[in-house]
Each structure stands twice: as structure tokens, then as C-alpha cells.
Amino acid sequence: MNDLVAEYIKRTSKSRELYEELSEYLPGGVGSHIRWFEPYPFYLDRADGARVWDVDGNCYVDYVMAWGPLLFGHRRPRAVIEAVKRQLEEGVIYGIPSKLMRSTISMIKKLVPCARAVKFANTGTEAVMHAVRIARAFTHRKKILKFEGAFHGYSSEAWISVAPDISEAGSYERPKPVPDCAGITEEQASNFIISHWNDSEHFRRVFREHKDELAAVLATPINTGLGAIPPRDGFLQTIREETEKHGIPLIFDEVTTGFRVGRSSGQGLYGVIPDIATFGKIIGGGLPIGVICGREDILEVTDPAKGTHPVAGTFTTNPISLVACNTMLQEIERDENLYERLDKDTAKLVEGIGEILEREDVDYYLSRVGSMFQIYFTEGGKEVLNYRDTLKIDRKMFRVFFLALLNNGVFSSPRLLGRWYLSAAHSSEELGETLAAVEKAAKSLKKLKTA
């Protein structure tokens, strides 16, 4: 491990300089805490397609893809860039409702199965925060049932029990809500009821115990907080059946799965339609946006004339983000076999990675949905189904793999459960380079095993 860190430091002297200077006044030297990793992050000079270049001139094949939004790659699709350029000349922000909302909403309604009514925010975090408050305003109840290990952004309406310390998280049968940062209070966390991903029995029991106080069930169609853990057969259907039977709104947070796993997102892929859904990342075409959509009767609480939940914000529905969103959705609609190509390319890459790891006798579990996947280093390649399974991942192996890939020109997520994303810009050349880097990284893992 130390040799990998030393090699990284040798290759990134300008990044190190920047990091040391920035850290003096920008704590941690990064704008978003998940971009930080040990010993320090590299700093970017430029990006294009599937590649990024750091300030030291190193080139990396990028699988982080800005943490999800870049479905077509960096500086793509060109149509979004051209549309944004035109809109920059027309006006960056109006603060007055614009006609652009009509065309953007009509694209959202066309592609998102549950989108009968639509509201906008600026980020995924904001969209989920509003969705939770909307459900509370609609039901006049407080409590939210969510799944341990599911991430829904950083608001106190959702950043609960994402990565709880197991000593505070209660027993498996009776999981406790735990705030994920010091600024979220115990009182805020106490509004959450926690269940386990992929455990229909547990969900049914906890749901029935609390159904009379629930404002909503909040879930991602695929648990991306755990990497990329899809629902087991029937799990989402159980959630939908129970919530429908008892009239509790079901919120699908599609900030990451939206337009990543298919043209109709997670809800279309699994055929489970929520009452409210949130979007961010890809839907913004690279610009910041949040979308809350769903049943008209529920979203009516946001109608300023009669509503009880204001959705507001200086930058909300700014024309640049609206134009980028509209154009991105048009591009997704236009490219007929986009998702088939992404699926095929990702399957090929994942197969190649699997073959290499097996050849080097490395224990791993790999989970993929469309163009996102996660490699878990678990003993005997044990399957990961829920948050508590992730606690058994070998963190040292993860770190060695990450650093060895980085030193060989591949940037995968520095976060243990961060996911790999392919974009339409990843060509066979980049996939080939990636497999060559995986060969070397797998050798480092083997060395670790025999050390």
C-alpha cells in the first residue's frame, strides 16, 4: 500500500501543491466532501468525453462521471452545450416565470411514468427535502420510513441512517434512526422509521406497526447508497402494495437511477410507479437542477394560491437549467439504442474485470444495473444485500485497488460504495485501457493477500 501512495505522490506534485495551499482556507481542499481521499485528491485541468487530465498532465479514464450526471461524457452532448450557449445570450436568470417551463415539463411528463404534476428545485438534495415536506403537508403526519444505508442527499429531511455506526444502529430486528452528521439532531432523526433493504418481511412488519403515523415511505428503486444493489424479486412490489393499501405516499428518489438505468428510469425498469419521484444529476444535462414530480393531488400542496408547502428559491427554474434539462431529455429520447449500447458495453467491461479478478484469485462480488456497477471485496465473494452486509467489505483491498487503478490511468470512485458509471463516450479503446489497468491492480491485490 505504501508504495502505491508514494507512486501517487510522485505523479501528482502540482496537485499536492494546490491541495496544501487550498486547505489553508478551504477546509479539506475540496468543495464537496466526497471528492476528498487520502493522501489528497488530484486537481483537474480539463475533461473531454470519457477522459480527464489533471494539473500534472496525467490522463485518466473517468468512471466517476461527475458522480453520475454525465451520461454522454464530458462536454457532451453537444446539443446541450449549444442550447445553453444560446440561452446565455437570452438571459441567465429572470426571477419571473418563463415560457421555457412548458416545453421542459412536457418532456418530463413524456418520459417519467409518474409525472402528472411537476415542481423544480436546484439539486437532488433539495428535491428530496421538498418531496418529504410535501408528503408531510399532504398527510398531516411526520414520520418517514426509509431504508438503512439508503442515501437521499444531505438535508435533515433525509440524511439519517445512511452509514450509521453499528453500535448505535440497534439490532437487526429493531434498527434505530441515527443522524449522519453532528448538525442533525436526535429529535430530527426520531421522525424516521428504519427498515432493511431487500427484506420484505422486515419491511412489512415495521410498516404495519407504524402505518398510522407515516407521512411517506422513501426509497431508491435500486439502493445506490450501498453501491448498486437492486431490489430482490418482489421487494419493490411489496412496498408498493403495502403503501397503496394503506394510502401512504411512496416516494422514489431517482436522483441517481433517473435516466441512468433506462429511458423510463427505475420506476419504468421495475414497473413500480411511485406517488412522488425526485430527479437530479442526469436530468440537468450537466447543470444543477432538482425535479419533484408525481400525483397532482399531492403536489397541489405546493400551489401558492391554496397550498401549504411553498417550493421556492432564487435560482429555481432558472432558464439555463431548464434549457439544459429539456435538451438533455430530447437527446435521450432521440438516441434510440443508447441504453442498449451502454448496457452491452458495461456488461463487456464487467465480464472482463470478473475474469481478471478470478484469474488472480481475488474474492469479489460484483453488482451491475445497466451502466452502473460496484465491485465489493467480500470474503468468498459473498453477496451484498443490505447495509449490514457492506460492513464486511475489506476496506484495505478497496483502497489498494483504487490507488493501483489511479496510478495506471483509471479514475474509479474513491468512496467504498461509490459506483462506477459508464458514459456513451467510453469507447472500446478506453475499455481496453481500463482492463489493462485492472490487470495491474489485481496483481497488487494478490500481493496484498500473500503479504
Ligand X SMILES: Cc1ncc(COP(=O)(O)O)c(C=O)c1O
Contacting residues toward ligand X, per CB under 6 A: 67, 123-125, 128, 151-153, 220, 224, 253, 255-256, 280
Which CB, 370 or 444, lies closer to ligand X?
A: 370
Which CB, 8 or 266, lies closer to ligand X?
A: 266
Q: How far apart are CA 415 and CA 425, in angstroms?
A: 23
Shortest Å, Cβ 354 to ligand X: 25
Which CB, 153 or 164, lies closer to ligand X?
A: 153
Shortest Å, Cβ 125 to ligand X: 3
Which CB, 12 or 125, lies closer to ligand X?
A: 125
Shortest Å, Cβ 158 to ligand X: 8
Which CB, 255 or 276, lies closer to ligand X?
A: 255
Which CB, 4 or 128, lies closer to ligand X?
A: 128
Contact 185, 179 (CB under 8 A): yes
Burial (CB count <10 Å: 0-12, 13-18, 19+), residue 379: exposed
Pairing type for strands 276-279 and 250-253 reads parallel
Which CB, 154 or 411, lies closer to ligand X?
A: 154
Which CB, 211 or 260, lies closer to ligand X?
A: 260
Residues 6+ apart with CB under 8 A from 105: 118
Shortest Å, Cβ 126 to ligand X: 7
The DSSP output letter for 193 is E
Shortest Å, Cβ 155 to ligand X: 9
Which CB, 33 or 245, lies closer to ligand X?
A: 33
Shortest Å, Cβ 417 to ligand X: 11
Q: What are phi and psi of 53, to 5 degrees?
A: -125, 130
Shortest Å, Cβ 254 to ligand X: 8
Q: Among all residues, whose Cβ is closest to ligand X?
A: 124
Shortest Å, Cβ 265 to ligand X: 12
Dihedral of CA atoms 19, 23, 27, 29 in degrees, nearest 10, equals -10
Find, among 154, 172, 100, the residue nearest to 316 by Cα.
100
At 241, which helix (H) or strand (E)? helix 235-245
**Which amino acid is residue 300, in one-letter code?**
E
The three three-digit cell numbers of residue 310, written as one number: 411553498
Q: How far apart are the first and last CA of the chain?
A: 11
**E-assigned strand segments in 243-390:** 250-253, 276-279, 290-294, 365-369, 372-376
Which CB, 216 or 438, lies closer to ligand X?
A: 216
Q: How far apart are CA 375 and CA 438, in angstroms?
A: 12
Give the Å distances, CA to CA, from 257 to 124, 179, 186, 221, 443. 12, 24, 30, 7, 33
Shortest Å, Cβ 122 to ligand X: 8
With vertex at residue 146, the alpha carbon angle to CA 143 and CA 150, rounded to the nearest 5 degrees, is 145
Residues 6+ apart with CB under 8 A from 111: 259, 263, 264, 265, 329, 332, 333
Shortest Å, Cβ 284 to ligand X: 9
Residues 6+ apart with CB under 8 A from 167: none
With vertex at residue 220, the alpha carbon angle to CA 214 and CA 226, rounded to the nearest 5 degrees, is 115
